[in-house]
Structure 1
């Protein structure tokens, strides 16, 4: 059982992170200052250092939360459709990716936007583990397709040599063969590009229904591109 002090500390940490995210939304930038957070919380800036060693540690914690949230959303989509055919599972993960991006564009920008000036993220840690979980869901859809006997590969020339070895890194590819991982990276680049355009307001001129239809066409095209059979044409993208 947590002590009163631990409960109070956890609540303060949560408030600091929530305040930082709110300021990011209001300022339109992921580069927030400790002094601004402290002022909003009626604290002194030095008091924040009892909870975070500096801005970089706070940003890393926010990234961990964001990647964990993304991983949980994609894992739920995969679990809900895990017993379905590989195409249905792939489309479900793609739809979940878009829904997560639309839910909180500021959080999406923190993860996938312009790097915060001066911030140097640690190479390893809980945030990178959460990121691997999130992107592992995309790899899992390919692994399921391979297990079902489908040939997951890109339409273009397959990668060879050193690049193939890089693609086979277990943490990134869930032990997928290089060609399957190449196909999944291509598909992720496609859906990520659309979601990024949408999250950053570049598709504001499109009616909502048109955006849904456009995304649905994209992810079905990506499914075909990597070798998955056509899915249910009546499933919406939103």
Structure 2
């Protein structure tokens, strides 16, 4: 009986936690990032403030949990798309990753805005925690993809004489722990790729393409093909 009671309480707590998070994202969608507040969420859910604080002690704790959930969902989807492609086809894996990112962003625009767009005023991220964090997973995943293309791309990309000091010590430490063979030039190229593909997604999510572009997906696919070409890659075909 005690175990059943504890199990029921755990399920109720998980359900309430999920409802708090979904309510926060809905408020953000309706009123922007500043609409995320524990008081507003408690009012929407007809909860007392003290009851809500037993789930999240501060607004920043809630925002941190939301960011972690959103990044995890994004990276899980991107990694699954990547891993559905052959390991020896870096072009297909890179394209699959970015298609998954766009598909996710279109399905979860509030999540995209939370982690890649509108900052939450006054939010202070916690220091420390398990590594790699969800956002670091996304970064390392993209670096790994670009590193697979680096043997082809190195001769085609401009040489900017990048050094490890161009990046933060925290990122360098993560790369040396998880991707020790990746050259610094591939890391720099990964961030350029990120900016290139993020740009079109951001324009679409924030409605800037709508007045002018009838088929943003077609535009995105053209950019993906150009990206692969600029890296000296080609899609592997059966029998290659």
Tell me, yes or no, if structure 1 residue 222 matches structure 2 residue 235.
no
* Residue of structure 2 aligned with 1:83, choices 84, 87, 100: 87
Change in CA separation of 1:128 and 1:208 when aligned onto 2, cut-off 3 Å? farther
The TM-score with structure 1 as length reference comes to: 0.85
User: How far off is 1:189 after superposition?
Assistant: 0.7
Contact 1:70 1:97 in 2 (8 A): yes
User: How far off is 1:207 after superposition?
Assistant: 4.1
The size of the alignment, in residue pairs, is: 229
Who is 1:236 aligned against? none
Choose 4-13 or 136-145, whichever is displaced more: 136-145
Change in CA separation of 1:126 and 1:14 when aligned onto 2, cut-off 3 Å? farther
- The alignment partner of 1:124 has SS state of coil
Who is 2:217 aligned against? 212
CA-to-partner distance for each residue in 1:135-154, whole Å, 9 max, x for gaps?
Answer: 222122123335xx534473
| Matches for 1:149-164 after TM superposition, within 5 Å | 149-152=151-154, 154-160=157-163, 162-163=165-166
Who is 2:135 aligned against? 131
User: How far off is 1:60 after superposition?
Assistant: 0.4
Choose 34-43 or 19-28, whichever is displaced more: 19-28
**For 2:91 and 2:61, how far apart are their aligned partners in 1?**
39
The TM-score with structure 2 as length reference comes to: 0.84
* Residue of structure 1 aligned with 2:61, choices 44, 49, 57: 57
**For 1:165 and 1:32, how far apart are their aligned partners in 2?**
30
Tell me, yes or no, if structure 1 residue 192 matches structure 2 residue 198.
yes
